[in-house]
Amino acid sequence: MNQEYYDTVVKLEKDGIDPEYIQGWQGGYVVNPEREEQRINDAYTAGYEDGTEHNTDNASKFKA
């Protein structure tokens, strides 16, 4: 497993970040196709975009 991926997911979970953001980040990081339109929300989209860039710039906006 990629250590950066694992460490980031653990940190996001410990920081209380919205699970939708985390799922988006995970999908973007590993370049999965985005969810179907009816299941996309702001947190997921922000996470997906950050994941594709391998950063967590928008995570703090989605504290659960």
Residue identified by tokens 């996309």 is: 40
Coil, strand or helix: which one is 16? coil
Q: Is the pLDDT of residue 7 over 80?
A: yes
Residues 21-41 pLDDT 10s: 999 999 999 999 999 999 999
Contact 22, 48 (CB under 8 A): no
Residue identified by tokens 């497993």 is: 1
pTM of the shown model: 0.95
Mean pLDDT on 37-52: 98
pLDDT value, residue 64: 76
Q: Is the pLDDT of residue 1 over 90?
A: no
Mean pLDDT on 37-49: 97
Residue identified by tokens 């940190």 is: 11
Which residues are bridge partners to 17 per DSSP? 63
